Chains A and B, each alone.
Chain A
Amino acid sequence: MSDMLLEVAGIETAYGQSQVLHGLDLEIRAGETVTLLGRNGMGKTTAIRSIMGLTPARQGAISFRGSRIEAEAPDRIARRGIALVPEGRQIFPNLSVREHLVAFAENRSGAKEPWTPQRVFALFPRLRERAEHMGNQLSGGEQQMLAIGRALVTNPYLLVLDEATEGLAPLIREEIWKCLAALRAAGQTILVVDKYIERLVQLADRHTIIERGRVAWQGGSEELSSNRELWHRYLGV
Chain B
Amino acid sequence: MSWILILEQSLNGLQFGLMLFLLAAGLTLVFGIMDMINLAHGSLYMLGAFFAATLVQATGSFALGVLLAIPATALAGMLLEVAVLRTLYARDHLSQVLATFALILIANEVVRIVWGSDLQMTMPAALSGPVQLLPGMPYPAYRLLIIGVGLAVAALLYVLVAKTRIGMLVRAGASNREMALAMGVNIQRLFTLVFGVGAALCAVAGAMLGPLFAVQVGMGESILILAFVVIVIGGIGSIRGALVGAVLVGMVDTIGRAFLPHLFGLFLPPQFASAAGPAIASVLVYLLMAVVLFVRPQGLFPARG
Binding site for B on A (CB under 8 A): 52, 54, 73-75, 78-79, 83-84, 86, 90, 92-95, 99, 102-104, 106, 108, 135-136, 150, 154
Contact indicator A154/B184 (Cβ below 8 Å): yes
Contact indicator B187/A75 (Cβ below 8 Å): yes
Which of B165, B176, B181 contacts A92 (CB under 8 A)? B176
- Does residue B123 face the partner (Cβ distance < 8 Å to A)? no
Contact indicator B305/A135 (Cβ below 8 Å): yes
Expressed in whole angstroms, the Cα–Cα distance for A19 and B173 within the complex equals 29
Q: Which of B154-173 contact A (CB under 8 A)?
A: 165, 168-169, 171-172
In the complex, chain A residues whose CB is within 8 Å of the CB of B186 = 75
Contact indicator A93/B305 (Cβ below 8 Å): yes
Contact indicator A95/B171 (Cβ below 8 Å): yes
5 contacts between A and B (CB under 8 A): A75-B183, A79-B184, A84-B182, A93-B175, A135-B305
Of all chain A residues, the one with the shortest Cβ separation from B171 is A94
In the complex, chain B residues whose CB is within 8 Å of the CB of A54 = 178, 181-182
For B212-238 the 0/1 string (1 means CB < 8 A from A) is 000000000000000000000000001
Which of A74, A95, A135 contacts B182 (CB under 8 A)? A74
- Does residue B260 face the partner (Cβ distance < 8 Å to A)? no
Given contacts A92-B171, A102-B165, contact A73 B305 (CB under 8 A): no
Given contacts A93-B175, A95-B172, A103-B165, contact A74 B181 (CB under 8 A): yes
In the complex, chain B residues whose CB is within 8 Å of the CB of A108 = 184
Expressed in whole angstroms, the Cα–Cα distance for A135 and B182 within the complex equals 17
Give the number of chain B interface residues (Cβ < 8 Å). 22
Expressed in whole angstroms, the Cα–Cα distance for A136 and B301 within the complex equals 13
- Which 4 A-B pairs give the minimum distances between C-beta atoms? A93-B305, A78-B184, A103-B168, A136-B305
Expressed in whole angstroms, the Cα–Cα distance for A75 and B186 within the complex equals 6
Expressed in whole angstroms, the Cα–Cα distance for A92 and B183 within the complex equals 11
For B114-153 the 0/1 string (1 means CB < 8 A from A) is 0000000000000000000000000000000000000000
Binding site for A on B (CB under 8 A): 165, 168-169, 171-172, 174-176, 178-187, 238, 303-305
In the complex, chain B residues whose CB is within 8 Å of the CB of A86 = 179, 182
Instruction: With both chains docked as a complex, state the minimum distance between the C-beta of A114 and any C-beta of chain B, in angstroms.
Output: 15
Most buried by B among A90, A94, A104, A150: A94
Which of A92, A106, A136 contacts B172 (CB under 8 A)? A92
In the complex, chain B residues whose CB is within 8 Å of the CB of A92 = 171-172, 175-176, 179-180
In the complex, chain A residues whose CB is within 8 Å of the CB of B165 = 102-103
Most buried by B among A73, A84, A95, A106: A95
Expressed in whole angstroms, the Cα–Cα distance for A79 and B187 within the complex equals 13
Instruction: With both chains docked as a complex, state the minimum distance between the C-beta of A134 and any C-beta of chain B, in angstroms.
Output: 8
Which of B178, B185, B187, B305 contacts A94 (CB under 8 A)? B305
Which of A75, A94, A136, A154 contacts B181 (CB under 8 A)? A75
- Please name 4 further chain A to chain B contacts, defined as beta carbons within 8 Å, in addition to the given A75-B184, A103-B165, A104-B183, sorted by A numbering: A54-B178, A75-B181, A75-B185, A103-B172
In the complex, chain A residues whose CB is within 8 Å of the CB of B174 = 94
Contact indicator A103/B169 (Cβ below 8 Å): yes
Expressed in whole angstroms, the Cα–Cα distance for A216 and B124 within the complex equals 78
In the complex, chain B residues whose CB is within 8 Å of the CB of A84 = 182-183
Instruction: With both chains docked as a complex, state the minimum distance between the C-beta of B190 and any C-beta of chain A, in angstroms.
Output: 9
Given contacts A92-B176, A94-B303, contact A73 B181 (CB under 8 A): yes
Expressed in whole angstroms, the Cα–Cα distance for A94 and B304 within the complex equals 8
In the complex, chain A residues whose CB is within 8 Å of the CB of B183 = 75, 78, 83-84, 104, 150, 154
Instruction: With both chains docked as a complex, state the minimum distance between the C-beta of B25 and any C-beta of chain A, in angstroms.
Output: 15
In the complex, chain A residues whose CB is within 8 Å of the CB of B180 = 92
Expressed in whole angstroms, the Cα–Cα distance for A67 and B238 within the complex equals 39
In the complex, chain B residues whose CB is within 8 Å of the CB of A136 = 305
